[in-house]
Every structure is written in structure tokens, then in C-alpha cells.
Amino acid sequence: MIAPACEHAPLAGMRILVVEDNYLVALSLQQHLEDLGCTVVGPVPSLAEGMASVDAGDLDGAILDINIIGGTSAPIAHKLRDRQCPFFFITGYTSPRLLPDELTDCRRLMKPIDEDLLERTIRQELTVVDE
Amino acid sequence: MLIACPAVALARPADDAEHTHIHTITAITLLAVAQSITILVLGWNIVRRRRSERARLASEATIGSLFRAAPAGLGMTVDRKLKRVNQHMCDMLEYHRDHLVGENARMLYPTQEDYDYVGTEKYRQIEAHGVGTVETRWLKRDGQVIDVLLSSCPVDSDDLSKGVTFAALDITLRKQAEHALKESEQRFRELVDHLEEVFWIADAETGKTLYASPSLERKWGIPLEKVKSGCMWHQVVHPDDVQHVREARKRLRQGEQMDIEFRIMQPDDTVRWVQDRGFPIVEDGKVTRTAGLVSDITDRKESEAAIGSLARFPAEDPNPVLRLEPTGEVLYTNDAARRLLAEHAVTENIVPKNWLKALREALATQKNQHMDVNSGAHTFTLVFAPIADAAHVNVYGMDVTERRQAEVRQRLIMRELDHRVKNNLAAVQSLAERSIRRADSLADFRESFMGRLQAMARTHEALAQTRWDGVDLHDAVHLVLGPYIQAGSKRLELQGDRLRLPARAALPIGLALHELATNAVKYGSLSCADGRVCLSWETMDDCNIELTWREVGGPPITHPTHSGTGTALIEGLIGYELQGAVELAYPTSGVTCKMTIPLSRFAERGSVSDTVTNQDSCNKDVTS
């Protein structure tokens, strides 16, 4: 079972994959995550690199931009879900239409990203506690 | 001779013939002795006289017989007084002879004027020709006036006082007939003169027009002479109708009725439509003549054509048009509606079940109801329009395919713009964060952040000009480098064909060029008056481009001048975001930067509308 983690769960050392095709946004995410003590895997801008990073394994979580080079990040999300690796989306789209139905209930963070909200979302979505 | 003379003279006064005879014999007896030669001569004379007397008597008898037998009123006047009248004359006027003989002829005339006219005219003719004939009027005994043809001739043309014989014919009936005929002709003329139609009569054998009423010329300007020579329509019928008219007229001559419509050409080449209704005139079982009535039906034809054209109006409508019973039964469909029903309805006669709601609603509310239906690749909005005072509903389809597609496209565009705005804000946010982190002072932050923000804004400006449908590299370069190099300045040399950058690639390239330019202004060729920048590009295979920044004429370069933020930014924007490659070099002569960019990867995502319409091709990439 996956349950929401407490607010003060340590994030340091978490390996988080960042898939974001906009260089500046990716850089910003990386900076924020590193400020939180996380280890950023990537960031990578494309579907192909994103898939490869998941395959490479050893991820504690992932932050996925929906629209990336090569398509949408849905296949990456599916792969992460198969591996029970937590993730959430960041997007400029208000509507979830670009995502397949089974992914529409996933958490989406709107750009531009608020630092505090990012941290909260990471804590809620990416930290897992085995009950 | 001398003796005989008194005898003769004696005999002369006697009127009676017998007495004359006796006196003559007496005279002969008395004078016989005296002169035998005289006797002989006298005897001869007597024989001759007796002969002529007998002839005269025979002639008198003949004339008297004629006088009695002639079927005309005969008589004689002397000094215009009736001396003799025959029985027919009496019968004609219903008078007894006694009432007439001895009376002045004035009694026969209804007016003095008539009497005077006859006196003047008849005697004028007699004087001129010996005989006078006039038509006049006589009064019968009962006061009835009859028409009379009166001919007179004097007994002695040298002496009118000897009397005038006359013959009178009662021509009342003939006059009446003439009058009736005249009236009938008058009526006919009045009729045909005012007839809108043209009445015609033709010879059945030759087909020649015997008569055509004046309206032919009045109405169509066709001179009567033109039709007299042959068939009325000769040279007048429209060439396309000639055969049709010829056949109908042939059947008419064979005894059939005719009712045809055809076109004629007026002398001014105006085309008129006419209707010609003809009938055969049969005499002794043979068609001798044909007759007919021609009407101008141009107006009718034109309105028929107009009505016909109007009637085709719904049929020609590319959109579905139907008329429905309240039950959903189909009363009328045009072609488009039939196609629609063929796709949706079970039968052609009843509309699909899901239409019934709108139909009932329209009838119940008496207001138009709308519903969308798809037909093939098309979407139609059906308007169910109830017809007041009629128990049916008209359905008008409107092809809204493009409108619906536009609506979808509009929604996608709005969403995409929303997305881009947010992505850009995120990028700005990132730039701000970076600038804040690395700035030594607020002025430092301001310089680095505002310059980059300006570069972004200018690239957006170029994109907005094309509605995000890519941007011309020339324009983008001029806009981005505008703050550093004046347009048209020799300090900037551009080499390369016209090239359209996909919108997705424009922003990173714009920002990268900005970074190179600010560096050149600070340390490179743009930091001195003579330095220049050469920007060249080349399209490689697969639509990738090679964009080369080369600084010339600047101060000698001794070491990499911007290993810091600028270099990282260029490498990130080109290498990371555009999946390209960056080669920065620092030869003494000036900085060079070669950027290889796989533009083709971003082409499909170039514009907002492309993003929408190329959704499929994006999805293909997902699976690859």
C-alpha cells in the first residue's frame, strides 16, 4: 500500500527523474530539487531518453512534463506505474486531454511552478511509506 | 293628191282606228274615179299603214302582257303624276290602282327629301344616259317604308312631257341582308381589331394565310404582307420549333384540332412564346380551310419558368431539406436529405427515432428546434421549423462541418496558447531564478535578466507576426540583434537562403543568438568600432541546419571569454532543448560558434494550428 508521507519526511538522497523539454524549466526544476537535497536523474528532454532513464532503474520518483520531444510522456508514466515508481506531471495545459484516460487522475502541477507547491507535491506524491 | 288630202285631213282627227278605216274607204270611193294612180298610191299607203297598225297592236299587247306579268312594279308617270301602274306595283304598296293613278308620285315617298332626291338624281341620269336608276324609299299604304330600286326611262327622250316609264323593285329584304352583313362585318372588325389574340384563316390545301387580324402587326410587329405569301409563321417561328409547328399544322389540315405552344421571333429578334389553337373548317366532308387563334403566352411561360425554378430551389439545395408529418413520416426530401436518411433511417419514409424528440418539441412549442446529425464527414444542424396553420414541420439542414471543426480548432488553439504562455512564464521564472542566483548586484541582475527577457519578447514578436506559424530567420536575427546592431549596418553580415524556423525552435535560437551578441558586445568583435559578425547558415540533408556565428575584426581573443552562464545557456538551449550540437571555439581572430540543429524534429510542432492538426503525427512519434 502506498500512503501519503508526513510533511517532514526527509527528501535528501531521493533519486528523482526529471523529464522536461524546456531547458530553462528543466534547469529550474533541477535547481529546486537539488535545493531540497534530491539527486536529479536527468533532466532529459525527450521520450526516448526518459524511457531509457526509467529502464536504467534506481529511481525513487519522477516528475514528467506531458508534452516532450517525441510525443507525450504517457509511455514513461505507464512504465513507472508498472514499476510502482511514484510520479507526477507538470504541464502548461489546464485540460488533461493530452493524457490517456487511465492517467487523467494523476496529479498535475501547473507551470509556472511554485517552489513551495513543488516541495509539497514531491512529499505527497513521491515519498512512500510501507505500512 | 290634192283631193285626197282633205279626206286624209278629215280622217286625221279620229282617234279610233276603225273610224279611220271607214273614212279612208269612203274617200277612196269618192276619189277612185278621179285618179287611178292616186288610188294606187293611196292604196299602197293604206296597206302599209294597216300593217304597221297591226304590228303596233301586237307590240302593245306584248308590252301589256309584260306589264302585267313582270315581278316588278311598272308604271308610267307624266309630270311625276302616276298615269299607269301595274298590278305588282299595287300589290307591292298595298294600294288599289285607283288610289294611285292620277296621283302625284309624291304620295309614294316618306319625305319630301326622298321625293326631291329622286326627282333630281334620276332625271339627271336620264339626261345624261337616257336611263336613270336610284335607290329610294317608298311608303306602303299602311305607312311601312320599303326600300326600292327605281329605274326610269322617258317615253320620248326628246320630250319628257310625254311621260316616263319606270320599274320598281322592292329591295327591302336585300337591303336588310346587306345591312345585316355590314353590321356583322362591322362587329367582326371591331372584335378582331380589339382582340389581343391574332385570328387567322388559311387555305387548307396550300396552307396560305387568307386572313390574319391586325393584332399580328400591332402586337408582334409582324407585317401582314409578310404572312400573306404563305403560312403565317413562315420565317417567324423559332428555328428550334419549326418542325413541331409544321407537324401540328399538317394534322390540322387533315382535320385534327390543334393546340400548340412555340416561340416566334419578332422582327427585332425578340423571342416571344405563343399558343396557337386551330380548328379545321369542314365543307362537304372536306377540310377546305383552317382557322385559329394565337395568344401571346410569354408572360405565362416566364412565370412558369420562374415557378419551376422556385420549385427546384429546395431540390437544388446541397443541404438536406425535408417536410415531415407529425408522425415522422416523410412528405418531401431533396437529394441531400435522401442521402442522410439512407445513412440514418430504417426506411426512406420515416425519420430516425432520435429525430422525433425535436419534431414533437417543434410541434408542441411551435418554435424551431435544432439538432446535429453527422453524414459522412459532414455535420448538419437540422432546424425543425413548424409551419403555422399546417400540420407539418419543415426541416432545413445546415452544413456546420466547418463551423464545428473551427470550434474544435479554436478550443485547441486556445488551449495551446494557454500552454505556451505558461511554459514561457515558467521559462521566464527560470531565467529570473538563474539571474538572481548568479548576480553580484541588483544592477548585474537587471542587466542579465532584462536583456534575456528582451530577447524572448522580440522572438515572440516575430512569432506573433506570423500567428506562430514559424518565423523567418532573417527577421528573427534582426529583431533579436536589433539592440546591438542597427538594421542594415555593415557590422552584421547574413549569409543564407530564406529559412523558416518552426515556432518551437525560434525561441531557443533567439535566446542563443542573444547570448552570443551580448558576449560580442562585452568582449568580442562588437566591442570595437571595426568588428563585425558574420552569421551564415546552410540547410543540410534531412532539413537540419548549420548556423555559424563568426566574429571578425574584434580584439584578439586570448582565452575563452564566456565559459559562464552564457555558454551553458547556449549549450542547454541548442543541445538540450533543440537536440542539436554546439561547437564554440575561441581562435585569436574571434569567437566562432557552430550550431547544428535538427529543425525537422520540430517542424511539425511549428505552429499552434500545426500542433492541432498534426496531433496524429505527434502520436506516431510516441509509439516510435
pLDDT digits (tens, 9 = 90+) for B534-552: 999 888 876 788 999 998 8
Pairs of residues, one from chain A and one from chain B, whose beta carbons lie less than 8 Å apart = 81
Given CB atoms, is A69 within the 8 Å cutoff of chain B?
yes
Nearest to B320 by CA among B352, B353, B362, B360: B352
Q: Does B37 lie in the same domain as B97?
A: no
Interface test with B, best of A24, A89, A118 (most B CBs within 10 A): A24
CA distance A112 to A92: 8
Examine residue B307 and state whether it is found in any structural domain, yes or no: no
Of B426, B434, B624, the CB nearest to A22: B426
DSSP-assigned letter for residue B624: -
In this structure, the answer to whether residues B423 and B545 fall within a common structural domain is yes
- Burial code of B441-462, b = ≥16 C-beta within 10 A, e = fewer? eeeebeebbebbeebbebbbeb
> pLDDT for B400-415, tens place per residue?
988 988 888 888 788 7
In-domain check, residue B329? yes
Residue B126: Cβ within 10 Å count: 18
**With an 8 Å Cβ cutoff, are A112 and B422 in contact?**
yes
Q: What is the CATH number of the domain that holds B593?
A: 3.30.565.10
Are residues B246 and B118 located together in one domain of the fold?
no
Residues of A in contact with B576 (CB under 8 A): 23, 26, 43, 45
- Is residue B553 located within the same domain as residue B412? yes
B598 near A CB under 8 A: no
> Please, how many CA atoms are within 13 Å of residue A78, restricted to the half-sphere of its CB?
11
Residues B51 and B150 in one domain: no
pLDDT value at residue B115: 92
Cα B535 to Cα B49, B144, B212, B458, B492, distances in angstroms: 164, 133, 96, 18, 7
- CATH superfamily ID and name for A15-100: Response regulator (3.40.50.2300)
Q: What is the mean pLDDT of chain B?
A: 82
* Counted domains in chain B: 5
Distance (Å) from the alpha carbon of B457 to chain A's nearest alpha carbon: 15
Using the Cβ of A1 and the Cβ atoms of chain B, whether some distance falls under 8 Å is answered with no
Residues B442 and B574 in one domain: yes
Q: B260 and B239 in one domain? A: yes
Q: Any idea which of B226-235, B479-488, B565-574 has the lowest mean pLDDT? A: B226-235
Contact flag B622-A31 (C-beta cutoff 8 Å): no
Nearest residue to A62 (alpha-carbon basis) of A74, A80, A44: A80
Interface test with A, best of B409, B423, B438 (most A CBs within 10 A): B423
Using the 3D structure, point to which of B399, B424, B455 is the last residue of a domain. B399
Q: Residues B377, B522: one domain? A: no
85-114 of A, contacting B, C-beta below 8 A: 91-95, 97, 110-113
B387 belongs to a structural domain = yes
- Segments forming the whole domain that contains residue B523: 408-616
User: In chain B, what percentage of residues exceed pLDDT 90?
Assistant: 21
Any B CB within 8 A of A28 CB:
yes
Residue whose grid cell is 274617200:
B27
- Answer yes or no: is B570 within a domain: yes
Higher pLDDT, B448 or B372: B372
Asked which of B302, B335, B358 is the last residue of a domain, the reply is B302
Q: Which of B230 and B108 is assigned the larger pLDDT?
A: B108
- Contact call for A22 and B577, based on CB within 8 A: yes
Domain extents in chain A: 15-100
B480 and B601 belong to one structural domain: yes
Q: Are residues B538 and B600 in the same domain?
A: yes
The answer to whether residues B225 and B323 belong to one domain is no
Looking at chain B from residue 432 to 451, which residues have their Cβ under 8 Å from any Cβ of chain A? 433-434, 437
CB contacts, 8 Å: A25 with chain B: 423, 426-427, 430
Q: What is the mean pLDDT of residues A13-33?
A: 89
Inspect the interface and report whether the beta carbons of B619 and A71 lie closer than 8 Å. yes
pLDDT tens figures, B45-88: 788 888 888 888 888 888 888 888 888 899 999 988 999 999 99
Q: pLDDT digits over B157-198, tens only?
A: 888 888 899 999 999 998 899 899 999 989 888 888 888 888
CATH at residue B74: 3.30.450.20
Which of A22, A43, A91 is facing B427, going by the closest CB pair? A22
Min Cα separation A131/chain B (Å): 36
Least confident of B246-260, B321-335, B402-416: B402-416
Mean pLDDT of B243-253: 89
| Residue B437 to residue A27, Cβ atoms within 8 A | no
| Chain B, nearest residue to A23 by Cα | B577
Tell me the C-alpha distance between B64 and B78, whole Å.
Answer: 18
Residues B32 and B80 in one domain: no
Domain boundary pick from B13, B47, B65:
B65
Residues B130 and B157: their CA atoms lie apart, in Å, by 7
Could you say which of B418, B430, B579 has the minimum Cβ distance to residue A27?
B430
